[in-house]
Amino acid sequence: MESSWYFLRYCCPDHHDAPLDRKQVDHWMPVDQYVGGVEHAVLHLLYARFFHKALRDVGEAGCDEPFTRLLTQGMVRKDTHRCPQHGWRYPHETREEEGCLLCADCGAPIEIGRNEKMSKSKHNVVDPNEIIQGYGADTARLFMLFASPPEMDLEWSDSGVDGAWRFLGRVWRLVHLIGERTAGVAPASVMPADANARALRAKTHATIDKVTRDMARFQFNTAISAVMELINAGSVFVNAPEEGASADEVAALLRELAETAVLLLHPFVPHITEELWAEALGMTTRLSQAAWPVVDPAALVKEELTVVVQINGKLRARILVPADATQAAQEALALEDPNVMLHLTGKSVRKLVTIPGRLINIVASA
């Protein structure tokens, strides 16, 4: 019963004269986002709505519905281990011998069962304290957010936990390396002239754009994967900076990349990023109070477009044209393409049907 209206009481915890303070309830309600497993979607969600509507009818709440949006999150699953004599076994009740998993008590071979919803009765639960002790809370968070979209079931995997931990190690080393090389350097704020340097800044801003959009859709796994790509790009660049860019430009670009990566990872792994922000990047303000990074639209402009070239409706080439090329310039490039020229041999061009930046159809006849 209490779980069906606690969110109303949370609006006014200091109100002592009555269960609810209507003014506070109307200020905070409805709840913006309800997150729960599938068992909540048919039970708690139903009860809570009935209670809320009754409280509305007696004048304790103003809004009709208590919750605006629902996210039904998946279950955490893990494989099960069973001994013929001792039944379900925890991992610490088994031992490995020559690649075989045996019961620690009787030595019988363990039957490895399918992935099932974690439950104490099947002994396939993971104690979060063990993960936190071994790897830290950030690794546990990153693994779970990265392993699957939140509405899907999550399969617990020790190698996945290890992978999350190794990724955080790479972030740690890269941000420290960049921090040492760029002390006092301001992050890049304009597009450099050199092509590889431009590509790196485009990657930084495309990542901000993707992570921002993915966060709004609760697609944390793809957001994290985008930051992983950015860290890869940064690791390559830091070891072989482009010769066409000046040392100052390289430092500013790396600084921008490191600050951006730390900002974007902060919601997922708050502890390590807060420490990197202060210790490696030398910031004196708290990361949790820093603004979310903003996309520079100039960095997202595609500099070349792919145009499909057809002859009499048949695909003959895909050409790259500068994004700002005129229609006439795009058509000239299409007619110069070797494969297009080959297929036009012995034919004369009657007309061109062009959708600039996308498609050029050459109408030709013998």
CB of 94 to Zn ion, least distance (A): 9
Q: How far is the CB of 116 from Zn ion (least distance, A)?
A: 20
What number of residues does the chain have?
Answer: 366
For strand 111-117 and strand 76-83, is the pairing parallel, antiparallel, or unpaired?
antiparallel
Residue 82 phi/psi, 5-degree rounding, is -135, 135
Question: What's the token pair of residue 272?
Answer: 């390590």
Which residue bears the tokens 């790009």?
233
Where along the sequence are the contacts to Zn ion (CB under 5 A)?
A: 83, 85-86, 103, 105-106, 108
Alpha carbon distances (Å) from 243 to 36, 132, 179, 181, 239: 52, 43, 21, 17, 12
C-beta closer to Zn ion: residue 19 or 109: 109
- Pick between residue 108 and residue 190 the one whose CB is nearest to Zn ion: 108
57 or 96: whose CB is closer to Zn ion? 96
Other beta carbons within 10 angstroms of residue 117's beta carbon come to: 14
Number of CB atoms found within 10 A of residue 274's CB? 16
Number of H helices, E strands in the chain: 14, 12
Considering beta carbons, is residue 89 or 316 the nearer one to Zn ion? Answer: 89
CB of 95 to Zn ion, least distance (A): 11
Which residue sits closest to Zn ion, CB atoms considered? 103
Shortest Å, Cβ 118 to Zn ion:
21
Is the CB of 94 or the CB of 235 nearer to Zn ion? 94
CB of 92 to Zn ion, least distance (A): 13
